[in-house]
Amino acid sequence: MPRATDLTSDKQIGLLSGVDFWHTRPLPVHDLPPATLSDGPLGIRLQRESADHLGVGNSHPATCFPSAVTLASSWDLDLAREVAVALGAEASQLGVDVVLGPGLNIKRNPLGGRNFEYFSEDPFISGRFAAAVVDGLQSVGVGACLKHYAVNNQEYYRFVVDAVVDERTLREIYLSGFEYAVKRGKPWTVMASYNSVDGELASQNHRLLTQILRDEWGFDGVVMSDWGAVYERDVGITAGMDLEMPGGHSLSDNDIQDALASGQLTDRQVETSAQRVLDLLARVQGNEVGSVEPDHDELCRRAAAAGAVLLRNDDTLPLDRRASIALIGGLAEVPRFQGAGSSLVNPTRVTTVRDAFADAGVEVTYAEGYDPATSTSSAAQLDEAARIAASADVAVVMVGLPPAYESEGFDRDTLSLPAAHDELVSAVAQANPRTVVVLSNGAPVTMPWRDEVAAIVEGYLGGQASGAAVVDVLLGDAEPGGRLAETFPERLEDVASTPWFPGRPRQVEYREGLFVGYRHHVSGGPAPAFPFGHGLGYTTFDWSDPQLSSPSIRRGQVLTVSITVTNTGTRAGSEVVQIYRRDLTGVVLRPERELAGFAKVHLEVGGSRRVDVEVPARSFEFWDVRTDEWRCPTGRFELVAARSSADPGLTLSLQVDGDATDSADPPSGPALAASDVDFAARLGRSIPAPRPTRPFDRDSTFAEIATTPAGRAFRAICWRATIAGTELSDADRPMVERNFAELPLRAAARFGDGKLSWRTIDLVLRLCNLGRR
Ligand code: BGC
């Protein structure tokens, strides 16, 4: 393997951007093939040579594993690792060197379009799952890519929005999952996100990419850009952003050469980034393309059941196989099992719920109930559904969110299901009180019919075998092993971030601070429909004899909570012991409870086990904005062993000997910094003014310039040259259209295969600005 110093400057520069959409540049003289990168996160989306360059359509068949939301709901880190090992095996088999995942952004608001691709609203659980996935992938020689770093919690104007977040919230909520995954998982790559953080693009953010990621956390891999996230290449390299993706245009090389010539960049900086790319190539060397096609359908099925959450059950589930079952809802035949956008996998096979009932030898009567393509229903469809429900012992209704409602590229407008789905559930529940609802969606929805139905299974997006998994769960061949890793609010207004989500096109303010998700609901906020951590099973458990490994703890130590869990029911099952930390010291403003540890245990009937849950010292610490470090309050704390964030649980009290005794927080004001004064106080500076959207500049989006005649014409030309001729699936279309509308011209240049020069862009912008007068 050559060293960067063995290479000419041109060759070094060449390493700092891809050769095309999915590959780094090869170095034939040194016999170095390119590294192949592929989405991700939970299924390989390797595009065929003939595929479009939008990066969406036509990929090799690969297993579509359960989405991150489903995997995290299993609360089973061993399972996550097992899935990642299988994913890595498929990557190798397809010649993929780096999988673009896992994604671990915090689900700040349930409307986030990409929430299905992320693990949780909680950083503790997000970091643990991300580390497990990184570990699984890399254990089989395939690189992981933690994404999207950082504070990328919405799709709305994702290329140009600036996330304004106070330092403590940044550290404790938005960075701590990444911190854990970097330190524990040691990923080979990290992806810098599209958005800005506190005024600087994440892809040009020296503080995030060098000071925090490398200097503080010890990251030693490659930082690559999200696709098209680069603007000023020299600033990016200075910040520590090594690899621009996608490549294949000359902008990157030219910009770097110009910056070297003008002294904006030094040879040493280029060499450092090139060396990191070479180190990555060395890591992926020797990966052999496999010849045996792995079959992971069974693993998918198991994982989907393990992540399915039984939200409600009045003993109707599991179903009696001899009962007459009415199966209702088009999603039973045309399933929704994965999210839309860049994570879309071309599955090796798909099992629908209808097929799976047949495979299980269980006869059902079926009615479509609504058109799965349009999510609309006719009176005749509703009548038929009610009729077959009335004459069956039990009705199973499949409803959920189609891709037009939930996708990468845009946020949802509402928490509601399609109206036809809600109407169907109510009509069926009226006809038969023994109605079981199965949901296929990637994020929380409201359920106005919640109290009218007998049972609700949140099946999430369970991957290609989700139909089989749902039937396993309904029939009791598998237990629904999941617990929510996010809150299901009663109403959108009950979510702390809602007034400030998704903000304005150029700025989003994180005024809810630490009070994200359950942290708000447990701190005097409104009770949710289903709390974080909630999930039922088919058996019962008894918890007894909780103990702490020590009555007090000092910084740097790890504490263990032990508790005896006994399966007192009539079926094997699993339980998730969740440990929440309560800080009674009053040293800093804190949510009432925060997740500090968890463990999942499987027990046969009558089985009993002592479960140990480790609580790291970090769980007691807070980020002190005055000293810029983690510090720990001294005083009384409680640890609560509970079944959900809303469960009173079993409480253990302890003394923590930290290094902060009196009020260490600068005046933090109320939990939610609704007023400008409070938010400014929390930021420690005045609230920045959002960047103006007029006059137009390189940050202006196609939608923005299209308000002028020149901009409209230019948008039409660009659309025709890039997207117009591409056949888009229904799943891809909404995202591609929205992405195009919200694409800034600077990013269009990056995607333009070199055909769009800065001169052209600047000329168009001048015309657009003239047109305004
Ligand atoms: C997404 C990334 C993805 C990349 C390549 C971007 O638009 O944000 O998550 O890995 O495209 O498809």
- My answer on whether 511 and 578 are in the same domain is no
Quote the DSSP letter at residue 336: -
Query: Using a 6 Å cutoff on CB, does residue 329 contact ligand 1?
Result: no
User: φ and ψ at 504, to 5 degrees?
Assistant: -100, 165
Q: Categorize the per-residue pLDDT at 136 as very low, low, confident or very high, splitting at 50, 70 and 90.
A: very high
E strand or H helix at 177, and its extent? helix 176-180
- My answer on whether 376 and 511 are in the same domain is yes
> pLDDT tens digits, residue range 375-387?
999 999 999 999 9
Query: Using a 6 Å cutoff on CB, does residue 226 contact ligand 1?
Result: yes
Query: Using a 6 Å cutoff on CB, does residue 55 contact ligand 1?
Result: yes
- My answer on whether 440 and 511 are in the same domain is yes
- Which pTM was predicted? 0.97
Retrieve residue 230's tokens.
């680069």
Return the closest-CA partner of residue 363 out of 448, 475, 241. 475
Q: Choose the final residue of a domain: 486, 519, 552.
A: 519
Q: Choose the final residue of a domain: 660, 677, 712.
A: 660
Query: Using a 6 Å cutoff on CB, does residue 52 contact ligand 1?
Result: no
- Number of Cβ within 10 Å of residue 320's Cβ equals 12
**Does 728 fall in a domain?**
yes
Give me ligand 1 centre to Cα 138, in Å.
Answer: 20
Pairing assessment for the beta strands 650-657 and 635-642 based on DSSP bridges: antiparallel
- My answer on whether 413 and 328 are in the same domain is yes
pLDDT at 55: 62
**Does 423 fall in a domain?**
yes
SS3 label, residue 334: coil
pLDDT at 669: 76
**Does 346 fall in a domain?**
yes
* Catalytically annotated residue among 39, 226, 255, 678: 226
Distance, CA of 636 to CA of 768 (rounded, Å): 62
**Does 126 fall in a domain?**
no
8 A C-beta contact, residue 634 and residue 657: yes
- My answer on whether 557 and 507 are in the same domain is no
**Does 7 fall in a domain?**
no
Mean pLDDT, rounded, for 665-682? 85
- My answer on whether 507 and 642 are in the same domain is no
- My answer on whether 319 and 420 are in the same domain is yes
Mean pLDDT, rounded, for 627-641? 96
The domain of 740 spans: 702-770
- My answer on whether 547 and 511 are in the same domain is no
Mutate to test the pocket of ligand 1, among 190, 342, 344, 408 (most ligand atoms within 8 A of CB): 342
Query: Using a 6 Å cutoff on CB, does residue 409 contact ligand 1?
Result: no
Query: Which atom in ligand 1 lies closest to the alpha carbon of residue 739?
Result: 7
Query: Which atom in ligand 1 lies closest to the alpha carbon of residue 194?
Result: 8
Give me ligand 1 centre to Cα 246, in Å.
Answer: 10
> pLDDT tens digits, residue range 111-121?
999 999 999 99
> pLDDT tens digits, residue range 294-341?
789 999 999 999 999 999 999 999 999 999 999 999 999 999 999 999
Give me ligand 1 centre to Cα 342, in Å.
Answer: 6
> pLDDT tens digits, residue range 730-772?
778 888 999 999 999 999 998 877 788 899 999 999 999 996 5
SS3 label, residue 546: strand
- My answer on whether 397 and 440 are in the same domain is yes
Give me ligand 1 centre to Cα 332, in Å.
Answer: 30
Give me ligand 1 centre to Cα 245, in Å.
Answer: 10
Q: What is the CATH number of the domain that holds 303?
A: 3.40.50.1700
> pLDDT tens digits, residue range 249-302?
888 999 999 999 999 999 999 999 999 999 999 999 876 666 566 789 999 999
Query: Using a 6 Å cutoff on CB, does residue 100 contact ligand 1?
Result: yes
pLDDT above 70 covers what percent of the chain? 97
Give me ligand 1 centre to Cα 734, in Å.
Answer: 16
- My answer on whether 592 and 650 are in the same domain is yes
> pLDDT tens digits, residue range 169-216?
999 999 999 999 999 999 999 999 999 999 999 999 999 999 999 999
How many domains are contained in the chain? 3
pLDDT at 485: 98
- Whole-number average pLDDT of the chain: 95
List, as one string, the DSSP characters of 97-140: SEE---B-----STT-TTGGGS--S-HHHHHHHHHHHHHHHHHT
Per the rule left: phi > 0, alpha: psi between -120 and 50, beta: everything else, 263 is: left
Let me know if 226 is a catalytic residue: yes
- My answer on whether 379 and 411 are in the same domain is yes
> pLDDT tens digits, residue range 12-62?
999 999 999 999 999 999 999 999 999 989 999 998 776 665 666 678 999
Q: Choose the final residue of a domain: 519, 547, 577.
A: 519
pLDDT at 724: 85
Above 60 in pLDDT, residue 773?
A: no
**Does 757 fall in a domain?**
yes
Mean pLDDT, rounded, for 491-495? 98
Above 60 in pLDDT, residue 507?
A: yes
Q: Whose CA is nearest to atom 11 of ligand 1?
A: 227
- My answer on whether 305 and 426 are in the same domain is yes
**Does 490 fall in a domain?**
yes
**Does 164 fall in a domain?**
no
